[in-house]
């Protein structure tokens, strides 16, 4: 297959207000014949330069009402225009520009980049198959300073980890969900709702939180809440790259450290992941 990446800005106005979308688009194509690889016959090959032009033309003509709609537009264009395309996948990722505000007043044309979780989506289609849409958030870093522990795990002669019932839970989340064959969804609205679910399931009630017995259980809580609140989601995958923090032992320095000073532990660097669907359960 071949793929390529294009980054660009799409501007338009809503009344006097400027609206900006900066996106990175990656298109994968697989052709019906591998003759380009085997024979060096390029006659069916769509150059990356052409793919770039198509993506820019579609952005110009259709705008980017949502990342998902734009990804769908690109898939549709390739499937309907090129009969030599057997499979197309489009990945679209957003640069998180947010409108500046001065004393609460939104600015007409100024923006600040706020990367507190990056929105992305994917659309993929095999010839004669359904168009499937995924959406997600990545690089979302969250921390709970209490209400997290890890106890009762498997132990043998290689175990040195002590049990802990009040540790830091911190990590970077990658969440990706599928909408199945999607109809006329309000993708922007659903995405915001899912982001709120993720934060809520991670943190628990604002006044007291909710105890997490493991990274794995927190991953599962996020999945369960999203599936219960957002009916459009078919399957949700969550990957948590966790950062461990150790309470610094200050006995040698004549001090008691009551979880006041902690250092991040670089290794082992852990990760846990789970994919959860509506009816059947996938544990990958």
Binding site for O2, by residue number, is: 48, 242
Q: What is the CA radius of gyration of the chain?
A: 23
**Coil, strand or helix: which one is 284?**
coil
Angle at 112 between CA 21 and CA 198, to 5 degrees: 75
Stretch that binds a second copy, among 126-134, 186-194, 229-237, 276-284 (CB under 8 A): 276-284
- Say whether residue 192 binds a second copy (CB under 8 A): no
In this structure, what token pair is assigned to residue 278? 């509506």
Angle at 43 between CA 38 and CA 45, to 5 degrees: 80
- Say whether residue 82 binds a second copy (CB under 8 A): yes
Burial grade of 229 (CB within 10 A; 0-12, 13-18, 19 or more): middle
Binding-site residues sit at 48-49, 150, 167, 216, 242
- Say whether residue 83 binds a second copy (CB under 8 A): no
> Whole-angstrom Cα distance, residue 222 to residue 197?
7
Binding-site residues for urate sit at 48-49, 150, 167, 216, 242
Looking at residues 238 to 267 of the shown chain, list those that interact with a second copy (rule: CB under 8 A): 245, 248, 250, 252-255, 257, 259-264, 266-267
> Whole-angstrom Cα distance, residue 143 to residue 243?
9
Considering beta carbons, is residue 181 or 278 the nearer one to a second copy?
Answer: 278
Residue in the block written with tokens 């820019």: 56
Considering beta carbons, is residue 163 or 181 the nearer one to a second copy?
Answer: 163
Considering beta carbons, is residue 116 or 186 the nearer one to a second copy?
Answer: 116
Q: In the bound complex, what is the minimum distance in angstroms from residue 184's beta carbon to a second copy? A: 25
Considering beta carbons, is residue 181 or 250 the nearer one to a second copy?
Answer: 250
Contact 129, 89 (CB under 8 A): no
Q: In the bound complex, what is the minimum distance in angstroms from residue 258's beta carbon to a second copy? A: 9
Phi-psi category of residue 167: left, alpha or beta, with phi > 0 → left and psi -120 to 50 → alpha:
beta
- Say whether residue 231 binds a second copy (CB under 8 A): no
Q: Map residues 107-146 to x or -, x wherever contact with a second copy holds by CB under 8 A.
A: xxxxxxxxxxx----------------------xxxxxxx
Considering beta carbons, is residue 140 or 175 the nearer one to a second copy?
Answer: 140
Handedness of CA 45, 48, 53, 57 (dihedral sign): positive
Considering beta carbons, is residue 65 or 181 the nearer one to a second copy?
Answer: 65
> Whole-angstrom Cα distance, residue 166 to residue 137?
28
Considering beta carbons, is residue 117 or 182 the nearer one to a second copy?
Answer: 117
Looking at residues 7 to 66 of the shown chain, list those that interact with a second copy (rule: CB under 8 A): 7-12, 18, 20, 30, 34, 36-54, 56-57, 59-61
Applying CB under 8 A, among 135, 202, 225, 233 the residue interacting with a second copy is 202
The size of the interface with a second copy (CB under 8 A), counted in residues, is 124
Binding-site residues for 5-hydroxyisourate sit at 48-49, 150, 167, 216, 242
Distances (CA, A) of 222 to 57, 180, 277: 38, 19, 13
């Amino acid at each position: 297959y071949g793929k390529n990446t294009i980054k660009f800005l799409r501007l338009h106005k809503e009344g006097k207000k400027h609206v900006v979308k900066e996106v990175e688009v990656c298109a994968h194509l697989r052709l019906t014949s591998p003759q380009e690889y085997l024979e060096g016959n390029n006659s069916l090959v769509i150059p990356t330069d052409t793919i770039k032009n198509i993506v820019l033309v579609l952005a110009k003509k259709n705008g980017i009402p949502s990342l998902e709609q734009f990804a769908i537009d690109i898939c549709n264009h390739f499937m309907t225009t090129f009969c030599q395309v057997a499979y197309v996948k489009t990945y679209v990722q957003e640069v998180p520009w947010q409108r500046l505000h001065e004393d609460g007043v939104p600015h007409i044309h100024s923006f600040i980049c706020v990367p507190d979780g990056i929105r992305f989506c994917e659309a993929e289609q095999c010839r004669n198959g359904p168009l499937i849409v995924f959406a997600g958030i990545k690089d979302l870093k969250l921390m709970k300073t209490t209400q997290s522990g890890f106890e009762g795990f498997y132990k043998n002669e290689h175990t040195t980890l002590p049990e802990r019932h009040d540790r830091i839970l911190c990590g970077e989340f990658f969440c990706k969900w599928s909408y199945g064959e999607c109809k006329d969804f309000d993708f922007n609205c659903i995405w915001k709702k899912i982001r709120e679910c993720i934060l809520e399931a991670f943190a628990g009630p604002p006044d007291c939180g909710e105890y997490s017995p493991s990274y794995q259980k927190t991953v599962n809580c996020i999945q369960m809440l999203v599936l219960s609140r957002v009916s459009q989601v078919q399957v949700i995958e969550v990957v948590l790259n966790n950062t461990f923090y150790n309470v610094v032992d200050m006995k040698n320095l004549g001090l008691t450290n009551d979880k006041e000073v902690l250092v991040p532990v670089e290794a082992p660097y852990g990760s846990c992941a789970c994919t959860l669907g509506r009816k059947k359960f996938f544990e990958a």
